[in-house]
Amino acid sequence: MRPYNVLLAVVAAAVLATGCSQQKQNADKVLESVETSLAAIKDDAARYAPEGLKSVESQLARLKTSYENQEYNDVIAGTPQLRKAVDSLAAAVESGKAQASAALAAARKEWDSLSVEVPRMVEDIQSRVDELSKQKRLPWGLNKDEFAEAKSDFEIMKNQWTEASSEYKSGKQTKAVEKARIAREMNEDIRKQLKMKTA
């Protein structure tokens, strides 16, 4: 090979190496930027937008594979789409937070009413059960099997309320309200079973 051909080959190799190095640096920067943005919302995303998080992580994994294969141009080209996905995920997280906050406020407001109504219902039915248990004969229209069934349903109602109270105290207000609603809904049926006046 002639000297000038050797020189050209060396220069070309140097230019190619420099180009690859620059591409790698650019790929490093864009990946680091996206990963930093994702890390900032990842925990909240897992709670408020889990499906969106899975999609973003899948896209990121594909770009990392391209990076490992030294396909730096593919990494750089694919980053804008991934960045948009991260931005959309961040918006979904904020929306989820807002909805959760609204649901929590509504649950707390409803609990204020339930925490008064349900204990009164339980107390009223308990008095009726105690009264009937002391009587030698059950009132007309209520036999022993029906009374036993009513008492069984009442135990379920009380358990629902007990669990609801525990959930609320542990900070699970929404679940607490759901269980308290069940207890309240059982009230009317049990009162009918026990031949009580409608509350």
User: How confident is the model over 77-81, as a mean pLDDT?
Assistant: 93
Judge residue 34's burial from the number of C-beta atoms within 10 Å of its C-beta, 0-12 exposed, 13-18 middle, 19 or more buried. Answer: buried
Percent of the chain with pLDDT over 70: 89
Q: What is the pLDDT of residue 7?
A: 39
Q: What is the pLDDT of residue 21?
A: 79
DSSP state of 142: -
Structure confidence by residue, pLDDT tens digits, 86-111: 999 999 999 999 999 999 999 999 99
Structure confidence by residue, pLDDT tens digits, 146-156: 999 999 999 99
pTM of structure: 0.66
DSSP state of 136: S
Q: 30 near 67, Cβ under 8 Å?
A: no
Structure confidence by residue, pLDDT tens digits, 44-54: 999 999 999 99
DSSP state of 14: H
Structure confidence by residue, pLDDT tens digits, 168-195: 999 999 999 999 999 999 999 999 999 9
Locate 8 and state its tokens.
Answer: 């050209």
Q: What is the pLDDT of residue 197?
A: 79
Q: 184 near 173, Cβ under 8 Å?
A: no
Residue 136's pLDDT band (boundaries 50, 70, 90)?
confident
Residues ≥6 apart with Cβ < 8 Å to 89: 38, 41, 45, 49, 52, 53, 56
Q: What are the φ and ψ backbone dihedral angles of 60, each rounded to 5 degrees?
A: -65, -40
Domain regions of the chain by residue span: 3-98, 103-193
User: How confident is the model over 157-165, as a mean pLDDT?
Assistant: 97
Q: What separation in angstroms does the CA of 75 have from each of 29, 59, 89, 106?
A: 10, 11, 20, 45
Locate 95 and state its tokens.
Answer: 């929306």
- Give the 3-state secondary structure of residue 135: coil
Mean of the per-residue pLDDT values of the chain? 89
Structure confidence by residue, pLDDT tens digits, 4-53: 444 334 433 344 444 467 889 999 999 999 999 999 999 999 999 999 99
Q: How far apart are CA 10 and CA 48, in angstroms?
A: 55
Q: What is the pLDDT of residue 6?
A: 44
Q: What is the pLDDT of residue 57?
A: 96
